[in-house]
Structure 1
């Protein structure tokens, strides 16, 4: 009898033990599942993919990039989506292509007109997202995209110019060339020419593209530092324009960043035997030398006002630092720059990830200390105080897009 009771007791204990064990396993599975659900971005991925996924989380539709609350045709979308294209080509993940496609799909009407775009504004910024149209049309052959591409290309023909042939940055900014404009317009202009134009017409277009860089070097280049001023006013009438040279007074980080990226990106499309390539590569080497000299020795980053890191209020800025890192790394990878500049790029990238990147508990990556916007106008005088007091924010697409591109070049 006692033996039976003992067996019964042991069986009961075994049952309880197995029940508890099963419950523990279920609880552990719940915890693991919960963790997987909240971990939106895996730290095992490369920085490029981590940042792209983070941008897609912040801006579920690509038209939302740059914190838009309604669809708008704009240049930051083009920058980030060009970077997304590179990530898609590397990974083959179709959700990245779908994200890219969503922007022109939303913005281009059936007749090829572009929502919120106005040719009459003659704004070079509006050409940047033309790069996305070129890519998506090549993939889909949707006629509306080709019509939209041609609309943007026609803007180049009617863009107002300085007396020596330089594009005005915008119609409402008369007689002015900005470094920004070369990144906004020239890669699209060059890619269009490579794809759709040949013979003497193509030669003429390539000459025109390189001429824009020649003029920037002539008017904006500072021989003492090797840096380039943000803007140049041929009329010398603007409040920010030097009365003798017409240049703005300071070297703004992101303006130099736009120029560097324009150089390495336009070179992708110029024919190998085209003589203008040599001049652009020379400009790029001058650029690299000047940028390396003003890199912060301790962090590897670059200041908002490049040559005045020791002035109170100046700060290490994310968008320019990301752009310089991309430009230098790509320049080395393409053989345009000496290999030593890769060390400068790596130091810059390490500085970004260590000083300017923060990662949330769910894995979402943030890029901090981005200058939101800066320009030149009657109330934007290009002074040191102006640049350092413009709004700072995290995850500005002008920084995240460049960071993705830099990551891809460094294969992090």
Structure 2
């Protein structure tokens, strides 16, 4: 009887295994990567430890940013761009499988993108295009190229200010936000480098540089060297100054988006392109300005950058990680003086000593992240607004930047 039961169990087990194999098509990748039963070694570099921690929290890459169902969104693009650099450095296939899992889930056979709407003209939706460029180059799958072209078509139809600046979203008329530079320009520049030539490429590069020129023209504060979060050309928004159109404060992560946009776009702009020298100038101004508001004791930055002594303000993880990355990459790429590498190291040390907690299984957490902030009728850009937005641990806008910083400092 016992032998019969054992045989029955074995048959059932083989049947289940056979069914699973039938579901999985030939050559199909296992895109769900489960690290939950593994210990994350402290001997690994911080970049790999954080990526493994993200994979532990979000076993499938569409789950990044705490999604409970697949969604085309920008935080996935940020973390997976960081993951591709970890994969390029380590060659570990589980990292590539994790990256591939997102576009594999989100891109339909015809190249349409699940949950994406071209009509919304939302710059945020271009960020994950960077991942599509990467996996298309690796796989040659036509659906990825079609999706890339769909996202690129948004740039041609994006509403613009009178001087050619992209509106952040169709439903945010006449507004440029610092966030938008990071969401759109690296994808736009990478696409141009890969697929455009001659006068078409020159016009695209000039258009990209113009976005930075306009932000500098309208959002730059000459007294501090910092940039305001948003600018409304119409000056009609509740948060917009009636004379200048700018929002009232310097938000840490908005400045972080802008810094990362600069160092990432510079990877693709040709050396002889008119205006590249201006981008380098903007980056140097940026570096000087953020060092002036860096917390001397911890090396971190406050949620509202220039008001660290005000009650309620706090040392914020996502902006601090973004600044450290911008400075480290700027030095490594030869655009910033060496002295800023020490600033980046101090910031990264401040993050690991003050904002990182480690679980028994080695999973690391990045704490004190602002979950989200923006500008709208009920988001007035005031000091009180920024400091009272939700805080959470492991926001991907911070973990992604943390991985990128670690990789730059490893150099």
TM-score, structure 1 as length reference: 0.91
Task: Give the aligned partner of residue 252 of structure 2.
Answer: 253
1:307 aligns with 2:299: no
How far did residue 58 of structure 1 move? 0.1
Distance 1:313 1:287 in 2: 25
User: Matched residue of 1:232: which SS?
Assistant: strand
How far did residue 274 of structure 1 move? 1.3
Task: Give the aligned partner of residue 99 of structure 1.
Answer: 98
Distance 1:230 1:317 in 2: 16
Instruction: List runs of 5+ in structure 2 lacking aligned partners.
Output: 1-34
How far did residue 40 of structure 1 move? 2.1
1:320 aligns with 2:319: yes
Q: CA RMSD in A?
A: 1.0
Task: Give the aligned partner of residue 392 of structure 1.
Answer: 391
8 Å Cα contact 1:61/1:102 also seen in 2: yes
Which whole-Å deviations, capped at 9, do the CAs of 1:354-405 have from their partners, x for residues lacking one? 0000000100000000000000000000000000000000000000000000
Task: Give the aligned partner of residue 358 of structure 1.
Answer: 357
8 Å Cα contact 2:36/2:56 also seen in 1: no
1:295 aligns with 2:294: yes
Distance 1:43 1:265 in 2: 29
1:404 aligns with 2:407: no
> What does 1:214-225 align with in structure 2 at a 5 Å threshold?
214-225=213-224
> What does 1:128-207 align with in structure 2 at a 5 Å threshold?
128-207=127-206
8 Å Cα contact 2:167/2:175 also seen in 1: yes
Task: Give the aligned partner of residue 238 of structure 2.
Answer: 239
How far did residue 38 of structure 1 move? 5.9
TM-score, structure 2 as length reference: 0.91
Distance 2:276 2:244 in 1: 27
How far did residue 272 of structure 1 move? 1.6
User: Matched residue of 2:357: which SS?
Assistant: strand
Q: Which runs of 4+ in 1 moved over 3 A?
A: 36-39
How far did residue 277 of structure 1 move? 1.3
Give the structure with higher Rg (CA): 1
Count of residue pairs brought into register by the alignment: 377
Distance 1:272 1:109 in 2: 37
8 Å Cα contact 1:229/1:248 also seen in 2: yes
